[in-house]
Amino acid sequence: MSIVKYPTAVVHQNFHGVKDQHTNRGMRLEADLNDTNKYYRECDKALIYKKPTPVQVVRVDYPARNKAKIVEAYYKTPSTTDYNGIYKGRYIDFEAKETKNKAQFPIGIIHSHQIMHLKKVHKHGGIGFFVIRFSLRNETFLVDAPLLIDKIEHSSKSSIPYSWFQEHGHLIQEGYIPRLDYLKIVDLLYFKEDKT
């Protein structure tokens, strides 16, 4: 069995410097987005992919010449955001986060390197946003990256109320195929098209 460890020198820290101890967050959201992106690719609507997590292999066992087995590896520097690709000739980059808190979104699950990356995406003319799911409400919002980053950077609190997402976010309608048709909102926000 392969062992993947986080090096003690690299600790993910959020925007406010608090250590993030959450693992496997957003796995259902990730599955929904992966299915949606696969549908977009198969329909030739967009090319958007989940970014791989960079891993450094440290030790490999060779029980036989053709049976190499990774037995120890470490996550390298933190990845930037979860997804990127191209849609209608524009670069798209976004981060997906999920919370079980019904009333608040904890700022601590967004990391400073993700904020800095999305700022650069915006600066260079790309489309950057967050997909935020309140899992106990079964609601998923798309929020423009500059808008949410500004809220985070000017907040003295450790969370953002759910009501803020109702007011400033765009509810992504869930369906069967595609599961989360977020490109309808991308069209509305970044290409100024109707929802039809």
Instruction: Write out the binding residues for Mg(2+).
Output: 80, 82, 95, 114
Residue ranges of the annotated binding site are 80, 82, 95, 114
Residue 19 to residues 27, 100, 101, 103: CA-CA distances in angstroms? 20, 19, 18, 22
CA-CA distances (angstroms) from residue 185 to 40, 61, 66? 14, 48, 48
- How many helices (H) and strands (E) in the chain? 5, 11
Query: Strand pairing of 90-99 and 55-61?
Result: unpaired
Q: How far apart are CA 113 and CA 35, in angstroms?
A: 26
Q: In terms of residues, how long is the chain?
A: 196
Judge contact between 90 and 46, C-beta under 8 A. Answer: no
Query: What is the Cα–Cα distance from 145 to 126, expressed in whole angstroms?
Result: 11
